[in-house]
Chain A
Amino acid sequence: MKAIVPVKRVVDPYLRIRVKSDGSGVDTDQLKMVMNPFDEIALEEALRLKEKGLITSIVVVSIGTVTCQETLRHGLALGADAAILVENEQANNSFDFANLLTEVVKKEQADLVLMGKQAIDSDANQTAQMLAALLDWPQATFISKLDINEGVAQVTRETDAGLEMLSVNLPAVFSVDLRLNEPRYATLPNIMRAKSKPLQIMSLALEYNPSQLQTKSVTPPPTRPKGTMLGSVAELVEKIKPLLFN
Protein backbone atom coordinates (compact mmCIF):
# COMPACT_ATOMS: atom_id res chain seq x y z
CA MET A 1 0.00 0.00 0.00
CA LYS A 2 1.22 3.41 -0.94
CA ALA A 3 0.52 6.60 0.99
CA ILE A 4 0.73 10.11 -0.39
CA VAL A 5 1.51 12.85 2.11
CA PRO A 6 1.09 16.37 0.67
CA VAL A 7 3.34 18.84 2.50
CA LYS A 8 3.11 22.60 2.29
CA ARG A 9 5.95 25.05 2.73
CA VAL A 10 4.83 27.77 5.14
CA VAL A 11 6.28 30.56 7.28
CA ASP A 12 7.57 29.32 10.64
CA PRO A 13 4.53 29.64 12.94
CA TYR A 14 6.68 31.17 15.67
CA LEU A 15 7.54 34.20 13.55
CA ARG A 16 5.60 37.42 13.33
CA ILE A 17 4.43 38.07 9.78
CA ARG A 18 4.09 41.43 8.07
CA VAL A 19 1.47 42.43 5.53
CA LYS A 20 2.84 44.16 2.40
CA SER A 21 2.02 47.85 2.35
CA ASP A 22 0.42 47.64 -1.11
CA GLY A 23 -2.15 45.16 0.21
CA SER A 24 -1.06 42.44 -2.21
CA GLY A 25 -0.23 39.83 0.36
CA VAL A 26 2.03 38.78 3.20
CA ASP A 27 5.74 39.49 2.99
CA THR A 28 7.49 36.14 3.37
CA ASP A 29 10.91 37.25 2.06
CA GLN A 30 13.74 36.59 4.49
CA LEU A 31 11.45 34.58 6.79
CA LYS A 32 12.33 31.07 7.83
CA MET A 33 10.09 28.57 6.04
CA VAL A 34 9.14 25.19 7.48
CA MET A 35 6.92 22.23 6.72
CA ASN A 36 3.33 23.02 7.75
CA PRO A 37 3.13 21.62 11.32
CA PHE A 38 -0.08 19.68 10.64
CA ASP A 39 1.54 18.03 7.60
CA GLU A 40 4.46 17.01 9.78
CA ILE A 41 1.98 15.15 11.99
CA ALA A 42 0.48 13.49 8.89
CA LEU A 43 3.93 12.38 7.74
CA GLU A 44 4.76 11.05 11.21
CA GLU A 45 1.59 8.95 11.13
CA ALA A 46 2.50 7.57 7.71
CA LEU A 47 5.96 6.67 9.04
CA ARG A 48 4.42 4.81 11.98
CA LEU A 49 2.05 2.92 9.65
CA LYS A 50 5.06 1.90 7.58
CA GLU A 51 7.00 0.82 10.68
CA LYS A 52 4.04 -1.37 11.64
CA GLY A 53 4.12 -2.89 8.16
CA LEU A 54 0.68 -1.54 7.24
CA ILE A 55 1.91 0.47 4.28
CA THR A 56 4.89 -0.13 2.04
CA SER A 57 5.85 3.29 0.72
CA ILE A 58 5.40 6.97 1.44
CA VAL A 59 5.58 9.71 -1.17
CA VAL A 60 5.67 13.35 -0.04
CA VAL A 61 4.28 15.87 -2.52
CA SER A 62 4.61 19.63 -2.59
CA ILE A 63 3.12 22.11 -5.03
CA GLY A 64 4.87 25.34 -5.97
CA THR A 65 8.30 26.49 -7.08
CA VAL A 66 11.75 24.89 -6.74
CA THR A 67 12.01 26.33 -3.21
CA CYS A 68 9.63 23.58 -2.09
CA GLN A 69 12.43 21.08 -2.65
CA GLU A 70 13.77 22.07 0.75
CA THR A 71 10.49 21.02 2.38
CA LEU A 72 10.48 17.78 0.40
CA ARG A 73 14.09 16.99 1.41
CA HIS A 74 13.03 17.50 5.01
CA GLY A 75 10.22 15.00 4.43
CA LEU A 76 12.70 12.53 2.95
CA ALA A 77 15.02 13.07 5.93
CA LEU A 78 12.14 12.24 8.26
CA GLY A 79 11.70 8.93 6.44
CA ALA A 80 9.57 9.34 3.30
CA ASP A 81 10.70 7.05 0.46
CA ALA A 82 10.26 9.43 -2.47
CA ALA A 83 9.25 13.00 -3.20
CA ILE A 84 7.38 14.76 -5.97
CA LEU A 85 7.56 18.47 -6.65
CA VAL A 86 4.60 19.65 -8.70
CA GLU A 87 5.85 22.73 -10.43
CA ASN A 88 2.90 25.05 -10.74
CA GLU A 89 2.58 28.72 -9.94
CA GLN A 90 -1.03 29.17 -11.05
CA ALA A 91 -2.56 27.32 -8.14
CA ASN A 92 -3.64 29.72 -5.43
CA ASN A 93 -6.46 28.16 -3.47
CA SER A 94 -7.41 24.81 -1.97
CA PHE A 95 -9.48 23.81 -4.99
CA ASP A 96 -6.50 24.31 -7.31
CA PHE A 97 -4.24 22.33 -4.97
CA ALA A 98 -6.84 19.57 -4.69
CA ASN A 99 -7.03 19.34 -8.49
CA LEU A 100 -3.27 18.97 -8.87
CA LEU A 101 -3.11 16.46 -6.03
CA THR A 102 -5.86 14.43 -7.69
CA GLU A 103 -3.60 14.04 -10.73
CA VAL A 104 -0.68 12.97 -8.56
CA VAL A 105 -2.72 10.45 -6.55
CA LYS A 106 -4.01 8.87 -9.78
CA LYS A 107 -0.57 8.78 -11.42
CA GLU A 108 0.99 7.25 -8.31
CA GLN A 109 -1.89 4.79 -7.80
CA ALA A 110 -1.89 5.58 -4.08
CA ASP A 111 -4.16 3.80 -1.61
CA LEU A 112 -4.45 6.57 0.91
CA VAL A 113 -3.67 10.23 1.43
CA LEU A 114 -2.67 11.56 4.85
CA MET A 115 -2.45 15.32 5.23
CA GLY A 116 -2.67 18.17 7.69
CA LYS A 117 -6.18 19.42 8.42
CA GLN A 118 -5.11 22.91 7.43
CA ALA A 119 -2.10 24.99 6.49
CA ILE A 120 -1.18 27.66 8.98
CA ASP A 121 -0.95 30.36 6.31
CA SER A 122 -4.27 30.20 4.47
CA ASP A 123 -6.07 28.45 7.36
CA ALA A 124 -8.60 27.13 4.83
CA ASN A 125 -9.10 23.57 6.05
CA GLN A 126 -10.45 22.46 2.66
CA THR A 127 -7.89 20.62 0.53
CA ALA A 128 -8.34 17.14 2.02
CA GLN A 129 -12.13 17.26 1.72
CA MET A 130 -11.98 18.62 -1.85
CA LEU A 131 -9.41 16.03 -2.85
CA ALA A 132 -11.66 13.28 -1.47
CA ALA A 133 -14.58 14.69 -3.49
CA LEU A 134 -12.54 14.91 -6.70
CA LEU A 135 -11.21 11.37 -6.29
CA ASP A 136 -14.66 10.15 -5.19
CA TRP A 137 -13.01 8.64 -2.12
CA PRO A 138 -14.41 8.65 1.41
CA GLN A 139 -12.79 10.98 3.91
CA ALA A 140 -12.01 11.22 7.61
CA THR A 141 -11.06 14.68 8.82
CA PHE A 142 -9.44 15.94 12.03
CA ILE A 143 -8.36 12.48 13.09
CA SER A 144 -6.62 11.86 16.40
CA LYS A 145 -6.25 8.08 16.05
CA LEU A 146 -5.79 5.78 13.08
CA ASP A 147 -5.71 1.99 12.74
CA ILE A 148 -5.77 0.06 9.49
CA ASN A 149 -6.89 -3.53 9.21
CA GLU A 150 -7.47 -5.37 5.93
CA GLY A 151 -8.36 -2.38 3.82
CA VAL A 152 -10.53 -0.74 6.45
CA ALA A 153 -9.37 2.16 8.58
CA GLN A 154 -10.74 2.78 12.02
CA VAL A 155 -10.29 6.36 13.08
CA THR A 156 -11.15 8.66 15.94
CA ARG A 157 -12.21 12.14 14.83
CA GLU A 158 -12.21 15.26 16.95
CA THR A 159 -15.53 17.04 16.58
CA ASP A 160 -17.30 19.85 18.42
CA ALA A 161 -19.49 17.32 20.19
CA GLY A 162 -16.71 14.97 21.23
CA LEU A 163 -14.85 12.03 19.78
CA GLU A 164 -16.36 10.19 16.84
CA MET A 165 -15.23 6.66 15.98
CA LEU A 166 -15.55 6.01 12.30
CA SER A 167 -14.74 3.12 10.01
CA VAL A 168 -13.59 4.08 6.51
CA ASN A 169 -13.02 1.81 3.54
CA LEU A 170 -9.76 2.42 1.68
CA PRO A 171 -8.81 4.11 -0.56
CA ALA A 172 -9.53 7.25 1.47
CA VAL A 173 -8.27 10.71 2.38
CA PHE A 174 -7.40 11.47 6.02
CA SER A 175 -6.76 14.90 7.50
CA VAL A 176 -4.97 14.95 10.81
CA ASP A 177 -5.41 16.94 14.00
CA LEU A 178 -2.82 17.90 16.59
CA ARG A 179 -3.44 15.07 19.02
CA LEU A 180 -2.60 12.28 16.58
CA ASN A 181 1.09 12.07 17.48
CA GLU A 182 4.32 13.89 18.31
CA PRO A 183 6.44 14.18 15.16
CA ARG A 184 10.04 12.95 15.32
CA TYR A 185 13.13 14.97 14.48
CA ALA A 186 15.32 14.29 11.48
CA THR A 187 18.64 12.74 12.51
CA LEU A 188 21.89 13.72 10.82
CA PRO A 189 22.46 10.33 9.14
CA ASN A 190 18.90 10.46 7.79
CA ILE A 191 19.42 14.00 6.50
CA MET A 192 22.50 12.73 4.63
CA ARG A 193 20.62 9.67 3.37
CA ALA A 194 17.75 11.88 2.14
CA LYS A 195 20.06 13.48 -0.41
CA SER A 196 20.17 10.29 -2.44
CA LYS A 197 16.44 9.55 -2.28
CA PRO A 198 14.43 10.19 -5.47
CA LEU A 199 12.89 13.64 -5.92
CA GLN A 200 10.83 13.81 -9.07
CA ILE A 201 9.75 17.06 -10.70
CA MET A 202 6.34 16.92 -12.31
CA SER A 203 4.97 19.74 -14.41
CA LEU A 204 1.21 19.88 -14.15
CA ALA A 205 -1.12 22.57 -15.40
CA LEU A 206 -4.64 23.28 -14.21
CA GLU A 207 -7.18 22.22 -16.81
CA TYR A 208 -9.40 25.22 -16.21
CA ASN A 209 -9.03 28.95 -15.82
CA PRO A 210 -8.19 29.44 -12.13
CA SER A 211 -9.94 32.77 -11.72
CA GLN A 212 -13.06 31.74 -9.85
CA LEU A 213 -11.64 33.08 -6.62
CA GLN A 214 -9.72 36.34 -6.56
CA THR A 215 -7.90 37.98 -3.70
CA LYS A 216 -8.79 41.67 -3.68
CA SER A 217 -6.58 42.72 -0.81
CA VAL A 218 -4.66 41.55 2.23
CA THR A 219 -4.54 43.99 5.12
CA PRO A 220 -3.23 43.98 8.68
CA PRO A 221 -5.86 43.11 11.28
CA PRO A 222 -7.54 46.01 13.07
CA THR A 223 -5.57 46.92 16.16
CA ARG A 224 -7.35 46.42 19.43
CA PRO A 225 -8.19 49.60 21.30
CA LYS A 226 -5.92 50.05 24.28
CA GLY A 227 -7.40 48.24 27.25
CA THR A 228 -7.67 49.26 30.86
CA MET A 229 -5.45 48.08 33.69
CA LEU A 230 -7.65 47.64 36.72
CA GLY A 231 -6.61 48.20 40.30
CA SER A 232 -8.67 45.67 42.21
CA VAL A 233 -10.72 42.49 42.03
CA ALA A 234 -13.83 44.54 42.84
CA GLU A 235 -13.28 46.69 39.76
CA LEU A 236 -12.78 43.62 37.60
CA VAL A 237 -15.92 41.95 38.92
CA GLU A 238 -17.92 45.09 38.17
CA LYS A 239 -16.69 45.00 34.56
CA ILE A 240 -17.14 41.29 33.89
CA LYS A 241 -20.29 40.43 35.81
CA PRO A 242 -22.65 41.86 33.16
CA LEU A 243 -20.76 39.93 30.46
CA LEU A 244 -20.99 36.57 32.17
CA PHE A 245 -24.67 36.05 32.74
CA ASN A 246 -26.52 37.79 29.93
Chain B
Amino acid sequence: MCEKKIDEIIEKYRGQPSSLIHALVEIQHENHWLPREVMHRVADALAVPFAQVMQIASFYKTFSLTPKGRHEVHVCTGMTCHLRGAAKLLERVEELTGLKAGETDADSRFTLDTGACLGSCSIAPELIVDGKHYGRMTPDKAEAVLKSYE
Protein backbone atom coordinates (compact mmCIF):
# COMPACT_ATOMS: atom_id res chain seq x y z
CA MET B 1 0.00 0.00 0.00
CA CYS B 2 2.78 2.35 0.93
CA GLU B 3 4.78 1.40 -2.14
CA LYS B 4 2.00 2.48 -4.45
CA LYS B 5 1.60 5.77 -2.61
CA ILE B 6 5.32 6.43 -2.82
CA ASP B 7 5.22 5.74 -6.55
CA GLU B 8 2.39 8.21 -6.94
CA ILE B 9 4.26 10.90 -5.06
CA ILE B 10 7.42 10.39 -7.10
CA GLU B 11 5.45 10.55 -10.33
CA LYS B 12 3.68 13.70 -9.23
CA TYR B 13 6.98 15.52 -8.89
CA ARG B 14 8.86 13.93 -11.77
CA GLY B 15 11.10 16.42 -13.55
CA GLN B 16 10.64 19.14 -10.89
CA PRO B 17 13.92 19.56 -9.01
CA SER B 18 12.61 22.54 -7.03
CA SER B 19 9.93 20.29 -5.50
CA LEU B 20 12.47 18.05 -3.81
CA ILE B 21 11.50 19.07 -0.30
CA HIS B 22 7.77 18.76 -1.02
CA ALA B 23 8.30 15.24 -2.39
CA LEU B 24 10.34 14.16 0.62
CA VAL B 25 7.85 15.65 3.07
CA GLU B 26 4.98 13.73 1.46
CA ILE B 27 6.92 10.49 1.43
CA GLN B 28 7.94 10.96 5.06
CA HIS B 29 4.34 11.67 6.00
CA GLU B 30 3.15 8.56 4.17
CA ASN B 31 5.92 6.14 5.04
CA HIS B 32 7.22 7.60 8.31
CA TRP B 33 10.79 7.27 7.08
CA LEU B 34 12.94 7.64 3.96
CA PRO B 35 14.59 4.41 2.80
CA ARG B 36 17.84 4.92 0.90
CA GLU B 37 16.50 3.13 -2.16
CA VAL B 38 13.50 5.47 -2.26
CA MET B 39 15.83 8.47 -2.07
CA HIS B 40 17.72 7.16 -5.09
CA ARG B 41 14.44 6.92 -7.00
CA VAL B 42 13.55 10.47 -5.99
CA ALA B 43 16.97 11.67 -7.14
CA ASP B 44 16.50 10.03 -10.54
CA ALA B 45 12.92 11.16 -11.04
CA LEU B 46 13.46 14.76 -9.99
CA ALA B 47 16.85 15.10 -11.76
CA VAL B 48 18.64 16.04 -8.58
CA PRO B 49 22.03 14.66 -7.47
CA PHE B 50 21.61 11.88 -4.94
CA ALA B 51 24.00 13.70 -2.62
CA GLN B 52 21.61 16.63 -2.51
CA VAL B 53 18.69 14.38 -1.57
CA MET B 54 20.81 12.89 1.22
CA GLN B 55 21.89 16.35 2.34
CA ILE B 56 18.31 17.58 2.64
CA ALA B 57 17.14 14.36 4.26
CA SER B 58 19.86 14.53 6.91
CA PHE B 59 19.60 18.29 7.45
CA TYR B 60 15.98 18.48 8.48
CA LYS B 61 15.00 16.57 11.57
CA THR B 62 11.45 15.93 10.36
CA PHE B 63 12.89 13.33 8.05
CA SER B 64 13.79 9.99 9.49
CA LEU B 65 16.44 7.90 7.84
CA THR B 66 15.55 4.90 9.95
CA PRO B 67 12.17 3.18 10.34
CA LYS B 68 9.97 4.56 13.09
CA GLY B 69 8.07 2.76 15.79
CA ARG B 70 4.29 2.37 15.95
CA HIS B 71 3.98 5.27 18.36
CA GLU B 72 5.76 8.60 18.22
CA VAL B 73 6.51 9.86 21.70
CA HIS B 74 7.42 13.50 21.86
CA VAL B 75 8.63 15.39 24.92
CA CYS B 76 8.48 19.12 24.40
CA THR B 77 11.75 20.80 25.34
CA GLY B 78 10.68 24.37 24.65
CA MET B 79 11.69 27.08 27.08
CA THR B 80 8.53 27.10 29.18
CA CYS B 81 8.42 23.33 29.36
CA HIS B 82 12.08 23.41 30.36
CA LEU B 83 11.43 25.91 33.14
CA ARG B 84 8.54 23.82 34.35
CA GLY B 85 10.43 20.53 34.60
CA ALA B 86 10.73 19.00 31.12
CA ALA B 87 14.24 17.71 31.84
CA LYS B 88 13.02 15.49 34.68
CA LEU B 89 10.08 14.33 32.59
CA LEU B 90 12.40 13.47 29.72
CA GLU B 91 14.68 11.53 32.05
CA ARG B 92 11.75 9.42 33.21
CA VAL B 93 10.50 8.83 29.67
CA GLU B 94 14.01 7.83 28.61
CA GLU B 95 14.08 5.36 31.49
CA LEU B 96 10.68 3.91 30.66
CA THR B 97 11.30 3.50 26.95
CA GLY B 98 15.02 2.74 27.11
CA LEU B 99 15.50 5.28 24.34
CA LYS B 100 17.32 8.53 23.76
CA ALA B 101 15.89 11.22 21.46
CA GLY B 102 15.86 10.05 17.84
CA GLU B 103 15.90 6.36 18.70
CA THR B 104 13.38 3.58 18.10
CA ASP B 105 13.25 0.45 20.22
CA ALA B 106 13.90 -3.04 18.90
CA ASP B 107 10.21 -3.98 18.98
CA SER B 108 9.35 -0.91 16.93
CA ARG B 109 6.93 0.13 19.62
CA PHE B 110 8.12 3.66 20.37
CA THR B 111 10.19 6.33 18.71
CA LEU B 112 11.29 9.06 21.09
CA ASP B 113 11.71 12.64 19.97
CA THR B 114 12.29 15.93 21.66
CA GLY B 115 11.74 19.33 20.18
CA ALA B 116 10.61 22.80 20.73
CA CYS B 117 7.53 24.59 21.47
CA LEU B 118 4.21 23.47 20.09
CA GLY B 119 2.55 26.60 21.32
CA SER B 120 0.63 25.17 24.27
CA CYS B 121 3.00 26.49 26.90
CA SER B 122 0.24 26.89 29.49
CA ILE B 123 0.03 23.15 29.93
CA ALA B 124 3.75 22.67 30.27
CA PRO B 125 5.48 20.26 30.61
CA GLU B 126 3.99 18.20 27.84
CA LEU B 127 4.15 14.65 26.61
CA ILE B 128 2.67 14.14 23.18
CA VAL B 129 1.99 10.64 21.90
CA ASP B 130 0.77 10.20 18.32
CA GLY B 131 -0.29 13.83 18.30
CA LYS B 132 -2.34 13.58 21.51
CA HIS B 133 -1.35 16.10 24.16
CA TYR B 134 -0.83 15.11 27.77
CA GLY B 135 -0.35 18.40 29.54
CA ARG B 136 0.90 19.32 33.01
CA MET B 137 2.75 16.00 33.09
CA THR B 138 4.84 14.87 35.99
CA PRO B 139 7.44 12.08 35.80
CA ASP B 140 5.25 9.73 37.85
CA LYS B 141 2.29 10.13 35.48
CA ALA B 142 4.39 9.19 32.46
CA GLU B 143 4.35 5.45 33.06
CA ALA B 144 0.56 5.18 32.98
CA VAL B 145 0.39 7.15 29.76
CA LEU B 146 3.01 5.08 27.96
CA LYS B 147 1.55 1.79 29.20
CA SER B 148 -1.65 2.54 27.33
CA TYR B 149 0.16 2.35 24.00
CA GLU B 150 0.92 -1.11 22.66
Q: Do A and B bind each other?
A: no
B contact set with A: CB distance below 8 Å: none
A contact set with B: CB distance below 8 Å: none
